Chain A
């Protein structure tokens, strides 16, 4: 077993896939010098500048070129630097990558991965902090992954690279340094499979990405009060593991969905609506969503902190559900 950070897990996944498959290559700004956060450290030395390719600051060209390179038989891994910058390449991702396989009647596919470091981190303010996963889930043709742990980052990035379809791969910047013991041989994970992080019987809390850690903290706090929380990490937002969520809520009768993204139109709404439609008669309390208020992300730390859904807010939401009246 090797102690591995979330960042190193991503590096390892890409390196192992590149050794396995000569058609895998990576492109993005500054990759030759390790990438903006160091996720590609040492890779240009091992794989050379053709396969760890620098790029001009041309997000549309980076993603558009990846679409062309994927249609022409390679498996590009695109580094977008910050998820926010991927907005400069929305046509390339949404109109081209996501639709090519379908609109060409299956003649060709677009096996590419778009790595988008997301989320609030070190007061990065409005253009370097966003969590836009819900947008991508809305687009047919895109797979959306948001791992919370080093092990999932390793296994799911491998799965994403092996996928024959475009994958939006959201790594949370605030997780780069977290560690996990990982084996020498870690096979690819399964896209669309959730993980029950902690079993519980009183309420289910669903989340993904960095928020999973806040939920776990809240669950620990609640356990001391005698409240048993089941924590579900979706890991993949499309496809998302409805069976796992429904099975959990059938047992607990209560659901809280927590995410860092803006609450309005967030993916939590999809989870909440699905559970409400499917399990109305089972629910002991109305489904509760937690997310950020609908404001751009401010720079000043006390203001930024006001947007964060912390363990206290999650614990309070669960307590409120347990106190609330049962429907009917």
Chain B
């Protein structure tokens, strides 16, 4: 295939990073089955090109707001896989000290201001974070990633409008995996979808093949530059497909088996590998990416498994500065 901007080294690195996300989630799913990961997790298997293409194109000082399906985004922003695995296990040394879990994972040290357990809730928060950047005179952007289901929630309208009327530095990314939980999104969505809604609010929208990591990265990089240049909020619609269920325990039996099989053939990691292979990158390098990722996540798993539970004092820590939460329960 003819690719004018093909940079083999860069694509190989993206291939390696997609494998990290895949390996992290496969390891987490296995750990869930063992009872080590405690609560629900929402794998992004099949969507890794969106994470690597968008978040991988941000600067370290850019801020990121993610979703319940945010392991890939968080890893790409620079969070430690070992700390993330500990968080999923609810252990000490997790990014949130074991008090957030997968759905509330955050790493403020790398500008990752939180996944969110409420669909679409991160959109207004992202607009506000961008508002703060404006007030503080900082020249970064906020990247806000949400799914196709979020466009049917009120915050989508309110937050996009907010970013537009205040001309805020936000890159909105609709990572469209075709499903809102277990429901086909198109069956519950009026009109032509995310891009048209963004454009109706005056925000330029760009559609991209969300399974082509280079294309996603090119688009995200260009849109980020536009935001930085003062063009106001931009909207990227990355169309991908969720290869597994809504949660790790959802077998996704509601889907057409033929479609799922066809979509597996469009796996973004396999696609990147195919391009690399076609341009002479050796099989040992490609399989090396996979093996290194599996090994990294195996080590993260072992570390998390050995990590202690949070101290009981953590229960009462970081509620708020005033008002001892213990008093009410234990006073008499």
Q: Which of A's residues lie within 8 Å of B, judged by CB? A: 23, 25, 50-51, 53, 55-56, 58, 60-61, 63-74, 76, 91-92, 95-96, 99-108, 140-143, 163-166, 191-192, 238-239, 242, 277-278
Other-chain contact of A105, B94, B124, B154, B320 (Cβ < 8 Å):
B94
| Size band of the interface chain B makes with A | 35 or more
Other-chain contact of B159, A50, A64, A70 (Cβ < 8 Å):
A64
Give the residues from 91 to 132 in chain B that come closer than 8 angstroms, CB to CB, to chain A: 94-100, 104, 106-109, 113-114, 116-118, 121, 123-132
Query: Could you tell me if B323 and A238 are in contact, using CB atoms closer than 8 angstroms?
Result: yes
Query: Could you tell me if A163 and B132 are in contact, using CB atoms closer than 8 angstroms?
Result: no
Query: Could you tell me if B96 and A96 are in contact, using CB atoms closer than 8 angstroms?
Result: no
Query: Could you tell me if B136 and A73 are in contact, using CB atoms closer than 8 angstroms?
Result: yes
Jot down 21 A-B pairs with beta carbons below 8 A, ordered by A: A65-B124, A68-B131, A69-B131, A69-B132, A71-B113, A71-B128, A71-B129, A72-B63, A72-B129, A72-B133, A73-B132, A73-B136, A96-B121, A102-B318, A104-B95, A105-B100, A108-B108, A163-B321, A165-B321, A192-B322, A239-B322
Distance A102 CA – B98 CA, assembled complex (angstroms): 10
Query: Could you tell me if A66 and B128 are in contact, using CB atoms closer than 8 angstroms?
Result: yes
Distance A72 CA – B121 CA, assembled complex (angstroms): 16
CB contacts (< 8 Å) of B118 on chain A: these are 91, 95-96
- Closest residue to B109 on the A side, CB-wise? A107
Distance A100 CA – B136 CA, assembled complex (angstroms): 22
Query: Could you tell me if B135 and A69 are in contact, using CB atoms closer than 8 angstroms?
Result: yes
Distance A137 CA – B228 CA, assembled complex (angstroms): 42
Query: Could you tell me if A60 and B124 are in contact, using CB atoms closer than 8 angstroms?
Result: yes
Other-chain contact of A65, B94, B116, B127, B318 (Cβ < 8 Å):
B127
Q: Which 8 pairs from chain A and chain B are nearest by CB?
A: A64-B124, A68-B128, A239-B323, A65-B128, A105-B97, A105-B96, A61-B158, A72-B132
Q: How far is the CB of B78 from chain A (nearest CB, A)?
A: 14
Query: Could you tell me if A104 and B96 are in contact, using CB atoms closer than 8 angstroms?
Result: yes
CB contacts (< 8 Å) of B96 on chain A: these are 103-105, 107
Q: How far is the CB of B135 from chain A (nearest CB, A)?
A: 6
B202 within 8 A of A: no
B145 within 8 A of A: no
Distance A118 CA – B278 CA, assembled complex (angstroms): 68
- Closest residue to B323 on the A side, CB-wise? A239
Known: A61-B124, A105-B94, A278-B332. A68 touches B100 (CB 8 A): no
Known: A72-B133, A103-B99. A95 touches B117 (CB 8 A): yes
CB contacts (< 8 Å) of B301 on chain A: these are none
Query: Could you tell me if B320 and A141 are in contact, using CB atoms closer than 8 angstroms?
Result: yes
Other-chain contact of B125, A96, A103, A142 (Cβ < 8 Å):
A96
Other-chain contact of B318, A55, A56, A106 (Cβ < 8 Å):
A106
Known: A68-B126, A74-B136. A56 touches B322 (CB 8 A): no
Query: Could you tell me if A67 and B128 are in contact, using CB atoms closer than 8 angstroms?
Result: yes
Q: How far is the CB of B92 from chain A (nearest CB, A)?
A: 10
Distance A233 CA – B22 CA, assembled complex (angstroms): 58
Give the residues from 141 to 168 in chain B that come closer than 8 angstroms, CB to CB, to chain A: 142, 154-155, 158-159, 161-162, 165-166
